[in-house]
Each structure stands twice: as structure tokens, then as C-alpha cells.
Amino acid sequence: MANVKVKFNNKEFLLSCDDGQEEHLEELLFHINQKFNQLKDDLGNLGENKLLLITAVKIMDEYYETKKKVDQKKKELYDLTNKFKELKSLIYEYKDQKDSEIKELNLNHKNFKNEIEENQKKYEQLIDEAADEISNFVKKAKLENISQ
């Protein structure tokens, strides 16, 4: 433990604190002393005990107002975090849906391409068969003309 000599309301006090916290304690006492002297100037000398009580109330009021603001900001951050998570979930859901649609379109494209290729083969086969029948018909017609 470290001992720190501080001055408050023109009186010296010896206070103890954890090692390494000396500067922090001095800073806190500086602010308390500043608040105490400000109230003393504003309200006059009401007596040390009453001024100390008013100083403590003022400091606690500032603390609770700050705490309310911090709590409000925490709530806002929590709400934003939840909205971000929801948005992130919607984005992933949308991406998965689009990936599924793309997969389905690719499959349809592949099936359509295969169908076109099959129809092209059938068409070529049909043309070949029709050409063969026409050729056979022409040959028969020539043979019949020759035989007559």
C-alpha cells in the first residue's frame, strides 16, 4: 500500500491506496476539491459538513447521469448489434437463395443445351432418312421409266 499526502479544503490528509494508484487518487481529490470550492463560492460557507454532503450529492448526480448515458449507449449498441446480426443473416439467406437460383438456372441451361443437341441429331437423322428416301424414290422412278 502507498500513502499519499493530499490537501482538501486547506487541510492536509494522509490517505492510503494501492501501489501505482497514487496519481489517480491525487487526480480524484483534485476534482473533488475543485467541486467543493466551486460550491463554497456559489453557496457561501454553509458549514463544512453540509458543503461536503452537497459536494457528494453533486458528484453522485453527475455519476448517475453519466451512468444513464453509458447504459443508454450500451442499449443502442446492443440494438445496433442485433440489427447488424439480422441484416447479416438476411444477406446470407439472400445469397443462399441466389446461389440456389443460379444452380437451378445452370441445370436448366445444361438440360436445354442437351435437348437442343438431341433435337439437332434427330433433325440430321431425319434429313438423312428423307434424303435416302428421296434418293431411293428417284432411283425407283428412273428404273420404272427405263423399264417402260
Per the model's pLDDT, the better-predicted residue between 109 and 46 turns out to be 109
Distance from C-alpha of 24 to C-alpha of 4, rounded to nearest angstrom: 11
Q: What is the pLDDT of residues 8-56, one digit of tens each?
A: 888 899 999 999 999 999 999 999 999 999 999 999 878 889 999 999 9
pLDDT the model gives residue 148: 67
Q: What is the pLDDT of residues 130-148, one digit of tens each?
A: 999 999 999 888 887 777 6
Which positions ≥6 away from 28 have C-beta within 8 Å? none
Place of cell 440489427: 83
Pairing of strands 11-17, 2-8: antiparallel
Instruction: State pTM to two decimals.
Output: 0.57
Q: Which residues pair with 11 in a beta bridge?
A: 8
Contact 43, 36 (CB under 8 A): no
